[in-house]
A and B are shown apart, each in its own frame.
Chain A
């Protein structure tokens, strides 16, 4: 059964051009973030490798460009491509980690909420309701301004806004799963609640989780970029893609566009790739949502 499912999955994947394009983008970006530092000639955070003479070089194909710097350099002579490669690692790390945290917390709360219902359920769901009536960007911005900035704070803020989606999704599927006979059978067989939740409910609510998680990574990367752009995200010592765009904003008015255009373009394609693939997963794994 599993094999059949996966082969049909593969068959549809091969016929779905956007999905292939999306995952190709992800593979390219993933590789870039992983081994990119080996491919670029410069470590932009090692001051000894920087040449101030090379500051604000335009991209290589433009007049005045330097073939050593494909996408140009910034005000300190740092290679924009190298900055992007290093920044992408930070952005991807934040997106994935925040996804993992909010997935674990949200799923746990969702399982408990759906399985036990009652008071716990209403408390969790009321909190979720209140939180969902506010845009996640605003909540994250507020948390960052209240508790200070830094990577750890960004992760906490993203987790705080992200768990709701998981809790809701998991609670919904849990509610419909526990009606089914195999759960009743497990109860009759004398399994404890914990066993039933972990061994029987959880595996059966995983599918929508995969879809939600994919999309969430993209959302988190965008929120983090916005926070960093506003100056309440990651610190200047660990610049994500969003912070690179912010730094480029200051020189945009003197006509230097490449220091902000390329990091932003990179965010766009990264999130676009995630969304294309996520869309495909959603259609495949959950045809009801199509």
Chain B
């Protein structure tokens, strides 16, 4: 187990290294950042000097080396626009994104797992077919459009829920959170529902597929013969054994949600990292884009790592090599 953990940690480092190379290379293609920092009427000499100051006159390789050593020393560069450390900008907005993603995935799981268990245990009932058709529709929905329609219905037409911002936040353990106030909840509910829909559909389908597979097994038949209650069979024996693919997809979905949060945050003007990313892309604010990508890469790799460890905990049959 320890050996496996170390091996995975080394793999993680390698992946992050590759990502840093790719991010760096890609970013060096996006126009000349020197024009982001100098006044429009600069002379040729001033441009040259700015270039030297930014280190843009060096070779690509030595630029990468500086980039990497700075990253490792915790220096992630400064935003061209805000003139602040890029990392601070992102960390300041990270709680908002994580809060929304967690509310969304909780919502999705709470709805999807019971429906998936039902549809998997009774695959031929009309209700199950309806659930499955609904989930397919959920996958087909363009998330941004759903968000807009929710805004139109709940904010424009009925003025029932606010359409933008985080609402009132409360400082908790050093984080500003919306979910601790009623006003915050009224702000978070629409973006969270928008974000949750696709995930809900996917978790539902995976749960159902897992349940259908498990319900065929002998131990389910045995549990029935033994006279265990239906509830106990479904959740105690069935769901417990159908959980492995659900956990995998749960990890992947968490990553997807962070990515799709960029869209949801843009629609609902939710002041999180995703909106910062999109704004930075518009403004050509390279350091912020780089830090965002490196940070999300780190988060994804860490999620995958945790999922792999969780496997061994929920299924003793899986032994690590």
A, B bound = yes
19 residue pairs of the A-B complex, CB under 8 angstroms, read: A18-B133, A142-B23, A142-B26, A142-B293, A147-B29, A226-B263, A230-B266, A242-B144, A245-B145, A253-B156, A257-B149, A260-B148, A264-B145, A268-B141, A268-B145, A271-B139, A271-B141, A275-B136, A276-B136
Q: Which B residues form the contact surface with A (CB < 8 A)?
A: 15, 18-19, 23, 26-27, 29-30, 133, 136-137, 139-145, 148-149, 151-152, 156-157, 163, 255-256, 258-260, 262-263, 266-267, 278, 281-282, 289, 293, 296-297, 300-301, 304
Q: In the complex the two chains form, what is the Cα distance from A276 to B15 in whole Å? A: 36
Between A and B, how many residue pairs show CB distances below 8 Å?
A: 112
Task: Find out whether the CB atom of A138 lies under 8 angstroms from the CB atom of B139.
Answer: no
Please indicate the chain B residues that have their CB under 8 angstroms from the CB of A133 in the complex. 15, 255, 300-301, 304
Smallest Cβ distance from A239 to chain B, in angstroms? Answer: 15
Task: Find out whether the CB atom of B149 lies under 8 angstroms from the CB atom of A267.
Answer: no
Please indicate the chain A residues that have their CB under 8 angstroms from the CB of B144 in the complex. 225-226, 229, 242, 245
* A90 interface residue per 8 A CB criterion: no
Q: In the complex the two chains form, what is the Cα distance from A179 to B137 in whole Å? A: 39
Smallest Cβ distance from B26 to chain A, in angstroms? Answer: 4
Residues 215-233 of chain A, each 1 if its beta carbon lies under 8 Å from chain B, else 0? 0001000100110011110
Please indicate the chain B residues that have their CB under 8 angstroms from the CB of A275 in the complex. 136, 139-140
Please indicate the chain B residues that have their CB under 8 angstroms from the CB of A222 in the complex. 140, 142
Q: Within residues 231 to 274 of chain A, which ones have a CB less than 8 A from any CB in chain B?
A: 231-232, 242, 245, 248-249, 252-253, 255, 257, 260-261, 264-265, 267-269, 271-272, 274
Given contacts A264-B149, A272-B137, are A134 and B255 in contact (CB under 8 A)? yes
Smallest Cβ distance from A99 to chain B, in angstroms? Answer: 16
Please indicate the chain A residues that have their CB under 8 angstroms from the CB of B281 in the complex. 141, 145, 232
Q: In the complex the two chains form, what is the Cα distance from A213 to B219 in whole Å? A: 38
Given contacts A146-B27, A252-B152, are A272 and B136 in contact (CB under 8 A)? yes
User: Which residue among A138, A218, A229 has the maximum number of chain B CB atoms within 10 Å of its CB?
Assistant: A138
Q: Which of B30, B148, B255 contacts A145 (CB 8 A)?
A: B30
Please indicate the chain A residues that have their CB under 8 angstroms from the CB of B300 in the complex. 133-134
What 6 A-B pairs have minimum CB-CB distances, sorted nearest first?
Answer: A264-B145, A135-B259, A138-B259, A271-B140, A272-B140, A146-B26
Task: Find out whether the CB atom of A255 lies under 8 angstroms from the CB atom of B149.
Answer: no
Please indicate the chain B residues that have their CB under 8 angstroms from the CB of A265 in the complex. 145
Given contacts A145-B289, A267-B142, are A137 and B256 in contact (CB under 8 A)? yes
Task: Find out whether the CB atom of A135 lies under 8 angstroms from the CB atom of B255.
Answer: yes
Given contacts A130-B19, A137-B256, are A230 and B140 in contact (CB under 8 A)? no
**Size category of the binding interface on chain A:** 35 or more
User: Which residue among B133, B140, B152 has the maximum number of chain A CB atoms within 10 Å of its CB?
Assistant: B140
* A279 interface residue per 8 A CB criterion: yes
Please indicate the chain A residues that have their CB under 8 angstroms from the CB of B29 in the complex. 146-147
Please indicate the chain B residues that have their CB under 8 angstroms from the CB of A147 in the complex. 26, 29-30
Task: Find out whether the CB atom of B142 lies under 8 angstroms from the CB atom of A226.
Answer: yes
Q: Which of A230, A249, A272 contacts B148 (CB 8 A)?
A: A249
* A143 interface residue per 8 A CB criterion: yes
Task: Find out whether the CB atom of A230 lies under 8 angstroms from the CB atom of B15.
Answer: no
Q: Within residues 175 to 196 of chain A, which ones have a CB less than 8 A from any CB in chain B?
A: none
Task: Find out whether the CB atom of A146 lies under 8 angstroms from the CB atom of B30.
Answer: yes
Q: In the complex the two chains form, what is the Cα distance from A179 to B262 in whole Å? A: 45
Closest-by-CB residue of B relative to A145 is B281
Task: Find out whether the CB atom of A218 lies under 8 angstroms from the CB atom of B263.
Answer: no
Please indicate the chain B residues that have their CB under 8 angstroms from the CB of A248 in the complex. 148
Smallest Cβ distance from A240 to chain B, in angstroms? Answer: 11
Smallest Cβ distance from B288 to chain A, in angstroms? Answer: 11
User: Which residue among A130, A225, A245, A248 has the maximum number of chain B CB atoms within 10 Å of its CB?
Assistant: A130
Task: Find out whether the CB atom of A245 lies under 8 angstroms from the CB atom of B266.
Answer: no
Residues 126-140 of chain A, each 1 if its beta carbon lies under 8 Å from chain B, else 0? 000010011101100
Q: In the complex the two chains form, what is the Cα distance from A138 to B145 in whole Å? A: 18
Task: Find out whether the CB atom of B142 lies under 8 angstroms from the CB atom of A242.
Answer: yes
Q: In the complex the two chains form, what is the Cα distance from A272 to B140 in whole Å? A: 5
Q: In the complex the two chains form, what is the Cα distance from A265 to B142 in whole Å? A: 9
Smallest Cβ distance from B75 to chain A, in angstroms? Answer: 22
